[in-house]
């Protein structure tokens, strides 16, 4: 019996220290390329082509190459501005619907090589690649499927032409983080002099799986954007508004660029079978290309801040268009607004209140998944519950009465998107008062609410498709309120 007692004690000690396994992944999961994309959050769109010089939004395709002649083009200025604005990359319209190429493509004469700019020896993609490298930014490319200049658009030969140009972009300009496929397809155009209307079947003509395979082969870490993904989806509008309910999941089989899917794309599908998160594309001006008449209509820093909340704050990435002017420079008005917007953003999120504060939960999965891991600043740790718990709360004790009016919440999306409903409460006069409610979380949501003075903030997961997995909770007091 005396020998049995130490053995029993040792067994109990070992059993008490045994590791609790993490939750199993649930539903569709993001790929490594998609995880890297989520973390970029905010980057620049650059619309630049012959339209800049003809004062149009869509070129017909008959514009002379001589039209394109920026007098002071400087991709370093673009990249420097993007970096100083806090952006992570730049996506350039290498070819818009007019068919004019910003690089000296071997497959068409309708490009910079036949323009007077730098005597036909210039290459904007090369310049931008070098500028992005210098300022630590990533590069993405937009290649319009619709080409109003090409004589073979609408035929099988155009697919070969299009894919040859795509290969040029994906092999000659280093690592590409995003390839952007627009949904505008077919209509009237120059088409090599035919000057006619050409209609195509958006769902079949482009044979997208073949094109996607080229991107996967040449740029395996690049995400592909279109109305239907396959990696990133359009949010369904160009006004800068992400949906309050925003699933990263999509039933994309049968969907294609240019289809009538705007309503679906905003919210995604709770029961989607693919991970296809939303990207919000919006311009700093009313138009996508530069027009002098819009110099007085540039979005203010305050408006850009609202766009940030309605995009990044709603589980979407923000792709903000800033078009160069006829000099080939980002206009001073746009630049000033961008830099002031960064200042506002930094002020808004200057003082994080929750980090390292005492946290407690109504349920957890053991010490390796305890409440304190939701506000420790480590994106790879998280609070979670037992598998059979899909509703639970976590409370953060700020220590003293503190002003709060912002909360940032993130799920650990490596294990899937789970949360279906949540609410945020603060303790006021010994009563819990609701200040915000929502549905989905995903990679990130940021919620604003009126300033409250409180010592305790509670996040309750009201419903979740599986046990909730929360990797980050941050609290702020915006100085403007």
The CATH number linked to 439 is 2.60.120.260
> What's the domain count of the chain?
2
Has residue 46 been placed in a domain? yes
Rg (CA), the chain: 25
| 122 and 145 in a common domain | yes
Task: Identify whether 230 is preceded by a cis peptide bond (ω within 30 of 0).
Answer: yes
| 378 and 246 in a common domain | no
Average pLDDT of the segment spanning 429-446: 98
- C-alpha–C-alpha distance, residues 342 and 345, integer Å: 5
Q: Rounded to the nearest 5 degrees, what angle is found at the Cα of 67, between the Cα atoms of 62 and 68?
A: 110
| 238 and 146 in a common domain | yes
Is residue 49 within 8 A of residue 289, CB to CB? The reply is yes
Q: What is the CATH number of the domain that holds 80?
A: 3.20.20.80
* Strands 187-189 vs 196-198: parallel, antiparallel or unpaired: antiparallel
Average pLDDT of the segment spanning 335-364: 98
What is residue 19's predicted lDDT score, i.e. its pLDDT?
A: 73
Place of tokens 């790929």: 31
Kindly tell me if the per-residue pLDDT of 396 is higher than 90: yes
Kindly tell me if the per-residue pLDDT of 183 is higher than 70: yes
Is residue 376 within 8 A of residue 355, CB to CB? The reply is yes
Average pLDDT of the segment spanning 458-463: 99
Q: Which percentage of the chain shows pLDDT scores above 90?
A: 93
272-328 pLDDT, tens digit per residue, is: 999 999 999 999 999 999 999 999 999 999 999 999 999 999 999 999 999 999 999
307-321 pLDDT, tens digit per residue, is: 999 999 999 999 999
| 409 and 287 in a common domain | no
Domain that holds residue 425: 358-476
Overall pTM > 0.85: yes
- The pair of structure tokens assigned to 234 is 């359009």
- The pair of structure tokens assigned to 17 is 């220290």
Instruction: Give the end of a domain, one of 298, 321, 348.
Output: 348
What is residue 480's predicted lDDT score, i.e. its pLDDT?
A: 73
What is residue 18's predicted lDDT score, i.e. its pLDDT?
A: 52
Q: Considering Cα of 321, then 112, then 184, then 248, what sign does the dihedral take?
A: negative
What is residue 263's predicted lDDT score, i.e. its pLDDT?
A: 87
195-212 pLDDT, tens digit per residue, is: 999 999 999 999 999 999
| 385 and 300 in a common domain | no
| 177 and 36 in a common domain | yes
What is residue 279's predicted lDDT score, i.e. its pLDDT?
A: 99
- C-alpha–C-alpha distance, residues 76 and 90, integer Å: 12
Band (14; pLDDT cuts 50, 70, 90)? very low
Kindly tell me if the per-residue pLDDT of 7 is higher than 70: no
What is residue 259's predicted lDDT score, i.e. its pLDDT?
A: 87
What is residue 161's predicted lDDT score, i.e. its pLDDT?
A: 99
| 332 and 374 in a common domain | no
Has residue 22 been placed in a domain? no
Average pLDDT of the segment spanning 379-404: 98
Instruction: Give the end of a domain, one of 348, 370, 389.
Output: 348
- To the nearest whole number, what is the mean pLDDT of the chain? 96
Closest alpha carbon to 27 in 436, 424, 415, 458: 415
């Amino acid at each position: 019996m005396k020998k049995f007692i130490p053995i029993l004690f040792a067994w109990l000690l070992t059993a008490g220290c045994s590791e609790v396994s993490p939750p199993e992944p649930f539903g569709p999961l993001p790929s490594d390329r998609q995880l890297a994309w989520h973390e970029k959050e905010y980057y620049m769109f650059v619309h630049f082509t012959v339209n800049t010089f003809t004062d149009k939004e869509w070129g017909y395709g008959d514009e002379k190459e001589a039209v394109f002649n920026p007098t002071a083009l400087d991709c370093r200025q673009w990249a420097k501005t993007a970096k100083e604005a806090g952006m992570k990359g730049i996506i350039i319209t290498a070819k818009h619907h007019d068919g004019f190429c910003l690089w000296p493509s071997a497959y068409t004469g309708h490009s910079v090589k036949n323009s007077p700019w730098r005597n036909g020896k210039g290459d904007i993609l090369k310049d931008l690649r070098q500028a992005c490298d210098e300022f630590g930014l990533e590069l993405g490319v937009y290649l319009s499927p619709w080409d109003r200049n090409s004589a073979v658009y609408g035929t099988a030969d155009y697919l070969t032409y299009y894919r040859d140009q795509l290969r040029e972009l994906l092999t000659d300009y280093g690592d590409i983080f995003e390839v952007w496929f627009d949904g505008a397809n077919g209509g009237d155009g120059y088409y090599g002099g035919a000057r006619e209307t050409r209609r195509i079947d958006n769902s079949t003509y482009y044979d997208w799986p073949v094109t996607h395979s080229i991107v996967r082969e040449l740029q395996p870490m690049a995400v592909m954007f279109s109305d239907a993904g396959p990696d990133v989806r359009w949010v369904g509008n160009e006004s800068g508004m992400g949906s309050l309910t925003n699933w990263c999941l999509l039933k994309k089989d049968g969907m294609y660029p240019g289809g009538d899917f705007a309503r679906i794309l905003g919210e995604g599908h709770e029961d989607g079978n693919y991970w296809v998160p939303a990207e919000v594309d919006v311009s700093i001006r009313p138009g996508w290309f530069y027009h002098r008449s819009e110099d007085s209509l540039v979005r203010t820093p305050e408006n850009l801040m609202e766009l940030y909340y309605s995009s990044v704050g709603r589980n979407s990435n923000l792709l903000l268009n800033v078009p160069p002017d006829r000099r080939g420079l980002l206009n001073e008005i746009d630049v000033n607004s961008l830099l002031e917007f960064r200042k506002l953003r930094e002020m808004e999120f200057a003082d994080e209140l929750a980090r390292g504060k005492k946290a407690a939960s109504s349920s957890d999965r053991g010490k390796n998944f305890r409440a304190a891991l939701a506000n420790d600043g480590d994106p790879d740790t998280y609070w979670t519950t037992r598998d059979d718990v899909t509703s639970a709360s976590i409370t953060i004790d700020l220590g003293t009465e503190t002003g709060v009016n912002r909360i940032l919440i993130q799920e650990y999306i490596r294990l899937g998107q789970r949360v279906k409903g949540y609410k945020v409460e603060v303790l006021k006069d010994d009563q819990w008062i609701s200040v915000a409610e929502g549905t989905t979380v995903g990679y990130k949501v940021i919620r604003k609410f009126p300033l409250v003075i409180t010592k305790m903030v509670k996040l309750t997961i009201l419903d979740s498709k599986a046990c909730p997995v929360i990797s980050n909770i941050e609290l702020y007091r915006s100085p403007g309120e």
